[in-house]
Amino acid sequence: MSIGRALPAVWIAALAPAGMAACGGSGDSGDAQATAASAPAAKTATQTARQPAAAKGPAVVKVGRSRLGRILVDGRGRTLYYFTQDKPRRALCTSDYLNCTTMWPPLVTTGRPRGAAGVKTGLLEVFHRTKPAGSQVAYHGHPLYLFVDDKQPGDLKGQGLYDYWYVLSPSGRPIKRK
């Protein structure tokens, strides 16, 4: 094999762990990440169960209290996160190959999202995403996500994960304290 053909394979092998870290879950999901890396088309029962349900109406964004101060939460009080690698109104967390959309389901909506007291409704936006397909909610341009390891309102287990995932304040600014 020539060096010209081997070089792309070396780059892929070198960069794959960084991509997995960016979108993967907590330390508990190592087996799921290994499964996804070795067989991207296969899904375990756990991965299938974690897929976000289709939106059943307008998403609700509220302000919740946490140890980090006031943060954005969904209508059920679950913490909302943004991914630092996303572009304004453009989600880069689109692949289940690296468990991104499994571990970080997007906040999707049908229709215009609603903002509760304390949310600046002028900062709420919707944009179309392709994987998984649907309308994702953004706040101040930041696409919003949930984290599957946050089991109840107030959980912040995704905060600062891999230095890519952070909560947002009601002003739309990231809170980077851990």
pLDDT at residue 108, as a whole number: 96
Find, among 97, 86, 90, 83, the residue nearest to 12 by Cα.
97
pLDDT band at 150 (very low <50, low <70, confident <90, very high): very high
pLDDT at residue 143, as a whole number: 97
pLDDT at residue 53, as a whole number: 52
Average pLDDT (129-151) is 95
Q: Where are the domains of the chain?
A: 3-175
**Predicted confidence (pLDDT) per residue in 83-98, tens digit:** 999 999 899 999 877 7
Q: Respond yes or no on whether the N-terminal peptide bond of residue 132 is cis (omega within 30° of 0).
A: yes
Q: How many CA atoms lie within 13 A of 85 on its CB side?
A: 14
pLDDT band at 99 (very low <50, low <70, confident <90, very high): confident
pLDDT at residue 38, as a whole number: 32
**What's the mean pLDDT when you consider all of the chain?**
79
* Torsion 63-115-166-151 (CA) sign: positive
Average pLDDT (106-111) is 96
Higher-confidence position of 24 and 133: 133
Higher-confidence position of 123 and 39: 123
Residue 168, beta-bridge partner list: 174
